[in-house]
Chains A and B, each alone.
Chain A
Amino acid sequence: MGRRIFQAASFTPTATADASALANATYMSIEAGSATQAIRVKEIQCGGQATASAVNIMMFARNLTNATTPTALAAPNGDGPESGATAALAAPPVTYTAAATGPQRTNTATTARLNLSFNAFGGIVKWFANLGEEWEIVGTSVSVAPSSLSAFTGGNVGLMGAHIIYEPL
Chain B
Amino acid sequence: MKREGYLVVDHSASPGLPEDIARQAGYDPKHCGEGKVFEAATLTCSHCGNAVVKNPLRTRERGFCRKCDHYICDLCAIDAQSPTYVHVPFRKLADVTMNLAEKGVVLGSPRELLEPPIKIFIP
Contact = CB atoms under 8 A, between A and B. Distances in A.
Contacts of B11: 118-119, 122-123
A130 B101 contact: no
Contact of A154 (B21, B93, B109): B21
Interface residues on B, range: 35 or more
Contact of B94 (A48, A124, A127, A136): A136
B48 A126 contact: no
A124 B9 contact: yes
B107 A122 contact: no
Counting chain A CB atoms within 10 Å of each CB, the highest count among B5, B8, B11, B18 belongs to: B5
Contacts of B108: 141-143
A143 B5 CA distance: 22
Contacts of A113: 50
Main secondary structure of the interface of A (DSSP, over half): loop
A55 B17 contact: yes
Interface in A107-153: 109-119, 121-130, 132-136, 138-145
A57 B24 contact: yes
B66 interface: no
A113 B48 CA distance: 10
Interface in B1-30: 2-11, 13-18, 21-22, 24-27
A123 B24 CA distance: 17
Contacts, number: 134
A133 B5 contact: yes
B68 interface: no
Band of interface residues on A: 35 or more
Contact of B17 (A119, A132, A135, A138): A119
Given A139-B101, A155-B21, A53 B15 contact: yes
A35 interface: yes
Given A117-B27, A140-B106, A124 B18 contact: no
A93 to B, nearest CB: 15
Given A55-B21, A111-B48, A132 B3 contact: yes
A119 B13 CA distance: 10
B25 A123 contact: no
Contact of A36 (B5, B75, B101): B101
Interface of B: 2-11, 13-18, 21-22, 24-27, 42, 44-45, 48-51, 75-76, 79, 90, 93-94, 97-98, 101-102, 106-109, 114
Given A36-B101, A130-B4, 16 more contacts: A55-B21, A65-B114, A109-B75, A110-B75, A117-B24, A119-B14, A119-B15, A119-B16, A126-B7, A126-B10, A129-B44, A130-B2, A139-B98, A139-B101, A140-B106, A141-B107
Interface of A: 34-36, 38, 48, 53, 55, 57, 65, 109-119, 121-130, 132-136, 138-145, 154-155
